[in-house]
Structure 1
Amino acid sequence: MPTTSENNFCTSWSGGKDACFALWQSIQKGFTPTCLLTMLKDDKDQTSAHGLTREVLEAQAACMQLPIIFGKASVGEYEAGLKAALQDVQKTFKTFQLAFGDIDLQAHRDWYEKILTGTGVSPAFPLWHYDRQQLLEDMFANGFETMIVSLKADKLDRNLLGKVLTPDIADTIQKQGICPTGEDGEFHTLVVNAPHFYQRLDIETGEVIEDEWGYSQLTISAA
């Protein structure tokens, strides 16, 4: 069992590029990851916006040789579900810091800070005020390979689903008046390779489904 350390941290894990880059940035600064924490829908073993299954997220965590803890929450119960999952993080991994991948949405940061108040877990925002364009350039330069797996059907063409985010595709997205980081929720990604992966994530893609929030989501399974 890990020993208590002020350098230990857990990452709020979506499976996407910002959470992954936040994890990697924290490692570069000398912090030690102990686990990942992912919230799933209460009625499904699946995340909301990204539409990723427990199976895929477990395979992704295995690529990084990190354990992953899952919490569950129905609509309106996220706060209670996250707090319950944090108890597992504290007890099992002696970890009292949770890193988020938010870049500059103050309302998100305020919300997470409010939720964590009184839990004994401190929030960390390693990407806070990171220039959005520079963030993408640094991801590309450091070998992050991310696939577009979910997008707002009224904002972007479904043909982008399953595409690896490249500088050319980022330019295409930007020309449509959408931030190529997707920070405002227009699209979501799955990281299939990164500098701290011990092996590339092997996946299979399936049909596209439409969720209740207006997202088109690519069905993904671990190969």
Structure 2
Amino acid sequence: MDKKFIMSFSGGKDSTLALFRMIKRGYTPIGLLVTVKKGENGSWTHSINKELLTRVSKSLDIPLFLVECEVSEYEAKFTQTLLKAKEMGASCCVFGDIDIQDHRKWCEERCKEAGIKAVLPLWQEDREKLVYEFIDNGFSTIIKKVNLTYLPSDLLGKVLTREIVREIKDLKCDPCGENGEYHTFVVDGPLFKDKIDFKINKIIIDGDYGNLDISI
């Protein structure tokens, strides 16, 4: 069985945990597929800049597949990149989604278009247990973005620990942030050769979201 895959990668904890599990199972990643806003320097959803993503790629020793796109071309560009990965030997694309059915449907549709399989290693597992599995395996991640409707901006920049997870739960939020309450940026762990150092520039408030602006 072909064990090469491309990883749909956000730079956050869930996609990193999915990547970790696949590697432990003996699969080989040929690349990290990251979508970036066209004309801007930040990735979609997590708003991580290209320089930091490049540093993560080097530390993980996995090539970076940057996909620059607007909303209108997001799906087509994503599928094009999957086709490229297929030509390079990937038999599947791996996603870090947990239990939102619409997300799974989207993943499967893109993979079907490219003629490869969609693999979701975390699918329908307990959200809280997954967060603790991530932390207990020695990964280090900072809170990069929060939905201010649910969480305060002072969580930005904090390392996600069991104590912080409890704080998030006390605020009646999902501990995993699967509903978009918060997003993370993984900076160290068992897959990393080097820790990702960064500097904090400022906090940007954009509507309902607080985003930690960081750079190399």
Q: TM exceeds 0.5?
A: yes
Matched, 1:148 2:143: yes
CA displacement at 1:76 relative to structure 2: 3.0
Q: Deviations over 1:15-60 (max 9, x none)?
A: 0000000000001111111110001112213112211011111101
CA displacement at 1:88 relative to structure 2: 2.9
Q: Deviations over 1:136-185 (max 9, x none)?
A: 12112110111001011221110000000011111011011101110111
Q: Pick from 169, 172, 194: which aligns with 1:199?
A: 194
User: Secondary structure at the residue paired with 2:177?
Assistant: coil
AA in 2 matched with 1:219: D
User: What are structure 1's unaligned runs of at least 5 residues?
Assistant: none
Match of residue 90 from structure 1: 86
* Matched residue count: 216
AA in 2 matched with 1:35: G
Written as runs of structure 1 = structure 2, the 5 A alignment for 1:93-104 is: 93-104=88-99
* Structure-2 separation of matches of 1:191 and 1:118: 30
Written as runs of structure 1 = structure 2, the 5 A alignment for 1:57-68 is: 57-68=53-64
Matched, 1:221 2:199: no
User: What are structure 2's unaligned runs of at least 5 residues?
Assistant: none
User: Secondary structure at the residue paired with 1:117?
Assistant: helix
CA displacement at 1:111 relative to structure 2: 1.4
The answer on whether the counterparts of 1:15 and 1:57 sit within 8 Å (CA) in structure 2 is yes
Match of residue 74 from structure 2: 78
Match of residue 24 from structure 1: 20
AA in 2 matched with 1:51: S
Matched, 1:181 2:176: yes
Identity rate of aligned residues, in percent?
A: 35
Match of residue 127 from structure 1: 122
Match of residue 159 from structure 2: 164
Match of residue 34 from structure 2: 38
CA displacement at 1:122 relative to structure 2: 1.4
Q: Once superposed, what is the RMSD of the aligned Cα atoms? A: 1.4
User: Secondary structure at the residue paired with 2:131?
Assistant: helix
TM-score (norm 1): 0.92
The answer on whether the counterparts of 2:92 and 2:111 sit within 8 Å (CA) in structure 1 is no
CA displacement at 1:133 relative to structure 2: 1.5
* Structure-2 separation of matches of 1:54 and 1:89: 20
The answer on whether the counterparts of 1:70 and 1:85 sit within 8 Å (CA) in structure 2 is no
